[in-house]
Amino acid sequence: MENYQFRHDKENFILVILKRGYGAHIDVLSKIAEKTKMKVIGYKVPNAEFLGERVSDHELKRLYSSALFLIYPYDSEYFGYIPIEVMASGTPVLAFKYSGGPSETIIDGKTGWLAYGEKDLYYKAVTIYEQGYNDKFSENCRKRALEFSVESQTKELVQYIRSLHQ
């Protein structure tokens, strides 16, 4: 957790990180990018600023902490470290409600938003970009990410193992 910069003051852009081999709803991302400023890592999205297939760890952490929010556009993800890393930087995440891991780590309306499909993702992204969100989101994100730290997860595992022997 200490590796991620926490910032309240956000820049006015949406961050998207695309991974090869994952369906990522490029058409809706392109439509969102028509109405917003979007920066994309991984591969190109029409209408968005392409930052390259990869960026340095330092630059990635800077982007995490300075983005207004992250769109995590995957239908299926086992856990999703990217949303946790972004929340550790105080940045909320917009993901699909039925995406797997992110739908378990994001608290809708408190640490990010969960969309029920492409139309909902589009509407929420554009609305959040135009209207912003409550300052408490950043603090909520950091607190939520701490729940998934190595220390916190180890403590939970030890407590669980001890409960099995009682």
Three-class DSSP labels, 67-134: CCEEEECCCCECCCHHHHHHHHCCCCEEEECCCEHHHHHCCECCCEEEECCHHHHHHHHHHHHHHCCC
Q: Mean pLDDT lowest for which of 3-12, 23-32, 43-52, 114-123?
A: 3-12
> Which of 74-78, 103-107, 119-123, 154-158 has the largest mean confidence?
119-123
Average pLDDT of 51-77? 94
Average pLDDT of 135-151? 86
pTM equals 0.89
Model confidence at 166: pLDDT above 90: no
* Cβ atoms of residues 142 and 90 within 8 Å: yes
CA angle 94–99–102, rounded 5-degree value: 55
- For the chain, the domains span 14-164
Say what the pLDDT of residue 100 is.
77
Q: How large a percentage of the chain has pLDDT more than 70?
A: 95
Kindly report, residue by residue over 85-140, the tens digit of the pLDDT: 999 999 999 999 988 788 889 999 999 999 999 999 999 999 999 999 998 999 99
Kindly report, residue by residue over 41-52, the tens digit of the pLDDT: 999 999 999 999
Residues facing 41 on adjacent strands: 17
Residue type, 32: I
Note the residue count of the chain.
Answer: 166
The topology under which CATH files domain 14-164 is: Rossmann fold (3.40.50)
Say what the pLDDT of residue 85 is.
93
Say what the pLDDT of residue 165 is.
80
